[in-house]
Amino acid sequence: MRITPKGQVTIPIEIRRQAGLLPDTEVEFEIRGCEVVIKKARGPKSRGERLIERMRRVKPTIDMTTDEIMAHTRGSE
């Protein structure tokens, strides 16, 4: 296998399947000694991660109603 003048290389289909590298998958490269490792890039935050972040930004007060708290957790601020 050779690297093209543009720096491109084809990843064999069996390796892509085993690694779950579908078309348009974002990847990261890492150098480990004399090796180059390719891995899936960490994707966007999950719904749960976004929910936790949003909840951490809300300062709880005694004046909040249940409906207001639910609106914050659902993202309909």
The pTM for the full model equals: 0.49
Helix (H/G/I), strand (E/B), else coil: 39: strand
For the chain, give the mean pLDDT. Answer: 85
Residue (of 39, 69, 33, 44) closest to 54 by Cα position: 69
Q: Domains in the chain, please, with CATH?
A: 1-43 (2.10.260), 44-77 (no CATH)
More confident of the two residues 34 and 23: 34
- Name the residue type at position 56: R
Round to whole Å and give the CA distance between 77 and 50.
14
